[in-house]
């Protein structure tokens, strides 16, 4: 009988309380679907890994560290599941590094990020309709993603269009570091005559970006720039990983993981 493991790889967060609300339950949900496998963890943010080591003296493995341990401990059947939102830079790191081990682990499979297939978008739309909209305080909702220079940033535009075609015209997608920008989204809000919005991060965790770039009190936070336009703002500082429907999607992706 071979040794089996499932390695869940997340971006990570330095907000320990939010980790317990997002990353940990996601890992547990995936582990529960594979009771014959040992659960392992790795993160892709070296900056956050270093911060936790310095602040809390807690070590989190980077991708290659986790894989090296699995190889040295004799695991011959490994599933790797990313909890990233899109197929961007962070997932590229996961796929590139994990693929180096395909000759060292006889059965090595990898599961895709949240938004990969058309069916994934449909499922996320239902999650937004059933699980995210009820978190709002009426009016419109603005979901704030991270944004990236990677071509995968187009994920946000596709999601925005799919929301519109699905009739959810009061849900807006914006990003901290990509397109649509805060200014783009404010332009849409004003054009649509929106007077009240709820902000929520479109990120697995509600970490620094959610607490500061979205809900912070600085003049350039999303909350502040929207309020400056005379629009009432509420904030829901809650990561996607806290939603069972999103966790279930990662479980299905792990079940459908493909051989590397």
136 and 230 belong to one structural domain? yes
Model confidence pLDDT, tens digit, residues 31-85 = 999 999 999 999 999 999 999 999 999 999 999 999 999 999 999 999 999 999 9
Q: Which long-range contacts (CB under 8 A, 24 or more apart) does 163-171 make?
A: 163/125, 163/128, 166/125, 166/129, 168/125, 168/128, 168/129, 168/133, 170/139, 170/140, 170/141, 170/194, 171/128, 171/133, 171/140, 171/141, 171/143
pLDDT tens column, 194-232 = 999 999 999 999 999 999 999 999 999 999 999 999 999
Are 137 and 233 contained in the same domain? yes
Which is nearest to 192 in space by CA: 151, 223, 164, 225? 164
Q: Are residues 163 and 110 in the same domain?
A: no
Co-location of 63 and 152 in the same domain: no
1 pLDDT exceeds 80?
A: no
Alpha carbon distance 181, 193 (integer Å) = 19
Query: What value does the mean pLDDT take over residues 146-156?
Result: 97
Q: Do residues 17 and 98 both lie within one domain? A: yes
For 154, the domain range is 118-238
Same domain for 63 and 156:
no
123 and 91 within one domain:
no
Looking at residue 58, which CATH number applies to its domain?
3.40.50.1400
* pLDDT for 138 beyond 90: no
Domain shared by 180 and 166, yes or no: yes
Nearest alpha carbon to residue 200 among 245, 115, 242, 141: 141
Cα torsion through 95, 112, 236, 154, rounded to 10? 80
| Same-domain check for residues 135 and 229 | yes
Q: Dihedral sign, CA of 211, 214, 215, 219? A: positive
Place of tokens 């697995």: 204
Give the count of domains, the chain: 2
CA distance 41 to 39: 7
**42 and 66 in contact (C-beta within 8 Å)?**
yes
Same domain flag for 180 and 132: yes
**pLDDT over threshold 90, residue 240:** yes
> Do residues 79 and 145 both lie within one domain?
no
Catalytic residue numbers, as ranges: 146
Same domain as 97, residue 18: yes
Task: Give the predicted TM-score (pTM) of the model.
Answer: 0.97
For 100-106, which contacts have Cβ atoms below 8 Å and span 24 or more sequence positions?
Answer: 100/64, 100/67, 101/67, 101/70, 101/71, 102/260, 104/71, 105/67, 105/70, 105/71, 105/75, 105/76, 105/77, 105/78, 106/2, 106/76, 106/77
């Amino acid at each position: 009988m071979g040794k089996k493991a499932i390695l869940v790889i997340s971006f990570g967060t330095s907000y320990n309380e939010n980790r317990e609300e997002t990353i940990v339950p996601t890992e547990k949900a995936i582990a529960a679907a594979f009771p014959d496998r040992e659960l392992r963890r790795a993160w892709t943010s070296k900056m956050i890994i270093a911060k936790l080591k310095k602040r809390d003296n807690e070590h989190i493995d980077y991708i290659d560290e986790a894989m090296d341990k699995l190889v040295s401990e004799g695991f011959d059947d490994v599933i790797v599941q990313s909890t990233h939102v899109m197929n961007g830079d962070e997932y590229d790191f996961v796929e590139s590094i994990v693929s180096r081990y395909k000759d060292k682990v006889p059965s090595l499979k990898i599961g895709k990020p949240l938004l990969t297939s058309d069916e994934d978008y449909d499922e996320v739309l239902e999650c937004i309709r059933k699980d995210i909209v009820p978190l709002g305080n009426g009016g419109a909702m603005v979901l704030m993603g991270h944004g990236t220079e990677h071509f995968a940033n187009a994920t946000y535009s596709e999601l925005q269009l799919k929301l519109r075609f699905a009739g959810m015209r009061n849900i807006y997608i914006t990003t901290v570091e990509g397109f649509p920008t805060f200014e783009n989204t404010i332009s849409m809000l004003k054009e649509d005559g929106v007077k009240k919005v709820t902000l929520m991060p479109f990120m697995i965790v509600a970490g620094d970006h959610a607490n500061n770039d979205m809900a912070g009190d600085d003049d350039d936070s999303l909350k502040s720039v929207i309020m400056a336009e005379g629009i009432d703002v509420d904030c829901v500082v809650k990561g996607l990983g806290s939603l069972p429907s999103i966790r279930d999607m990662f479980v299905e992706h792990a079940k459908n993981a493909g051989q590397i």
